[in-house]
Amino acid sequence: MTIYYSEDHEWINVEGSIGTVGITEYAQNALGDIVFVEVPEVGDEFAKGDEVSVVESVKAASEIYSPVTGEITAVNEDLEENAALVNSSPDGDGWFFKVTVSNKDELEELMDAGDYKTFIAGLE
């Protein structure tokens, strides 16, 4: 398994042909207290870069873009009642959805953990 990161602060943990997607610690911290997550539906198809989900903090709504092209195979239903999981465990229990990774080349356009760390250091 390998974890990739997007410039929009999503992570995708790829195991075989399925990627689990969430937002990073940096993103949850920047968003503040998260009160609602709108997840896609199983079976929805998205192209890389499509708006796939919305995160609402007490302050504002933020769009989440699909880091790859694929079909949604599962969504985190716990977020419906407990969106704060994204704050407390952004890279664990606060995952958003699972998606098929149909084009592995798209992963090459994402960052690895080291590159992402450098990327966010440049945003400070």
Partner 1 sequence: MGEQDRNSLKTPLYSLHEELGGKMVPFANYLMPVQYPLGVMAEHKHTREHAGLFDVSHMGQVVITGDGADVWLETLVPGNIIDLKPGRIRYTMFTNEDGGILDDLMITKRDNDMFMVVNAACKEQDIAHMRAHLPDHLKLNELTDRALIALQGPMAATVISRFASEAKEQNFMSYLEAKIDGVTCFISRCGYTGEDGHEISIPADRAEDICRLLLSEPEVEVIGLGARDSLRLEAGLCLYGHDITVKTTPIEGALEWSIGKRRREQGGFPGADKILDQITNKNIKKRRVGILPDGRAPAREGTQVLDARDNVIGEITSGGFGPTFGGPIAMGYIKTEFSEKGTKVYLAVRKKKLEARVDIMPFVPQQYFRKH
3-state secondary structure of 20: strand
Residue 109 tokens read as 């356009």
Tell me if 54 contacts partner 1 by CB under 8 A: yes
Shortest distance, position 106 Cβ to partner 1, whole Å: 25
Separation of CA 77 from chain center: 15
Residues 81-120 interacting with partner 1 (rule: CB under 8 A): 81, 83
Tell me if 58 contacts partner 1 by CB under 8 A: yes
Residues 65-84 interacting with partner 1 (rule: CB under 8 A): 80-81, 83
Site stretch for partner 1 (CB under 8 A), options 2-10, 18-26, 30-38, 90-98 = 30-38
Please say whether the beta carbons of 23 and 13 come within 8 A: no
Residue 94 tokens read as 């606060």
Residue 100 tokens read as 């098929």
Tell me if 42 contacts partner 1 by CB under 8 A: no
Q: E strand or H helix at 114, and its extent?
A: helix 113-121
Tell me if 123 contacts partner 1 by CB under 8 A: no
The only residue of 17, 36, 88, 104 in contact with partner 1, by rule CB under 8 A: 36
3-state secondary structure of 54: strand
| Residues contributing to the site for partner 1 (CB under 8 A) | 32-33, 35-36, 38, 54, 56-61, 80-81, 83
